[in-house]
Structure 1
Amino acid sequence: MFRTVFSVALLSALLSAPSAFAQTTVPAAPAAPASAVPSRPITPPAETQKLLKKRDVVVLDVRTPEEFATGHLTGAQNLNFRDPNFPSLLAGLDTTKTYVLYCASGNRSGKATVLMQEKGFRKLVNAGAFKELKAAGIKTE
């Protein structure tokens, strides 16, 4: 019994006393969820259609090659946002041109426009979802 009381008293004293090994740490901020990644707002299809009639506008489909193969806007180039090399692929693009980007929902294209802006591109449009652009009458292949 003496041993149990002594052990409990010793344990209590050790837990309440400041430790030489105690560190003051600030808890790490939780990682931002993927949905919290900045994105550009979606431009309405009617405005996108007007932009597509202008010269020197480059249309980028940032869906996967498999999605692109099922149909895409006429003249669009496929640049897969999910490709690990996507940031380096941007280096081959002219930063002075106007780019209209779209994907399946507007999420990837919004994130791609933010990434492109960080890399010096200034004329960027998030056109949103392919399905909505097609439904609005924008020509597809």
Structure 2
Amino acid sequence: MNYFSSRNTRRFRFHCSEYGLLSVTIAPNNKLHLHFSAENVQNPTHFGWQIELNNPNNLSHHQPTPSTFFVKTLNLISVNHLSNEAASCMVSNFGLLENLKIIGCHGLESMSIASDTKLLSLTIFDCPHLKSLHIRSSN
């Protein structure tokens, strides 16, 4: 793990043997960027991806403290067939998520998003293999 810091931004790099490299940036205003190492974008492995966003009232560990970091904006970059389950697991714990951006996920063919939260904005960009998108929300 490498750690980089600037004034109000924290950056981490994790080297995971199975997933490759994960770069994490924690930015001001409750923004989190998760950048997974890109696989071969010329011949990506195709995959489907399911994300479930939970209601913060249903999260048993939701006990606000002064040091708690609530993610309101999340950028998921270069998620692939190896890292999509790990990304989904992390995202499911962000009960206050308002903005979700999915960027550069080559090989992503289908996506399903279930949201019981106050997700206000969803952006999907540069996912050229995406053929179907299913969104379910109670709000």
TM-score by length of 1: 0.28
Higher helix share: 1
TM-score by length of 2: 0.28
Higher strand share: 2
Q: Relative contact order (C-alpha < 8 Å, sep 6+): which is higher?
A: 1
